[in-house]
Amino acid sequence: MQGSDGIALCRLEDIPDRAGRGFTVQRDGRSHDVFVVRNGAAAHAYHNACPHKGLNLDWRKEQFMDAEGEYIHCSNHDALFRIKDGFCIAGPCRGARLRPLPVVVRPDGGIEIA
C-alpha cells in the first residue's frame, strides 16, 4: 500500500517490542522482501536478505530476533546483527551488514519506508 510519504507497512503497535515483522513491497517496479524491527518507539527496516547466503532471515516464519530480543537473528546459520545498524556481530558473516531501508515512524504511529 502507498502512504503519503512512502510505502506504508503497518503501525508501531502492530509489532511487539523487540520483535520483527516481514513484508513484501513493490519498489522501483520490483518486489522486495523487507522486515521491520521495533525497538521501543523506534523502528529499523532492512532488506530480508542475509549477507551470508542472501537467504531470508526468517526461515522460521516471522522469527527475526534471538530468544532474548537483543539481536536480529538469521535462523539459517545463526548470524546475529545489531538492531540499530544491522552490523553482524556473530556468525558466518561477522563484520558484514544487513542492507538498511530509510524508515519513519509517523506521529500517528504509522511505519513507512521511503
Nearer to ligand FES, 27 or 77 (CB): 77
Longest distance between any two alpha carbons in the chain, whole Å: 39
The residues in 91-110 that bind ligand FES, with binding defined as CB under 6 A, are 91-92
For residue 67, the 8-state DSSP code is T
Stretch that binds ligand FES, among 13-21, 22-30, 36-44, 49-57 (CB under 6 A): 49-57
For residues 45 and 28, give the distance between their C-alpha atoms in angstroms, rounded to a whole number.
Answer: 17
Instruction: Among 32, 63, 66, 76, indicate the residue that binds ligand FES (CB under 6 A).
Output: 76
42-47 and 30-39 beta bridge pairing: antiparallel
Per the DSSP assignment, residues forming a β-bridge with 103 are 113
Which residues contact ligand FES (rule: CB under 6 A)? 50, 52-53, 55, 74, 76-77, 79, 91-92
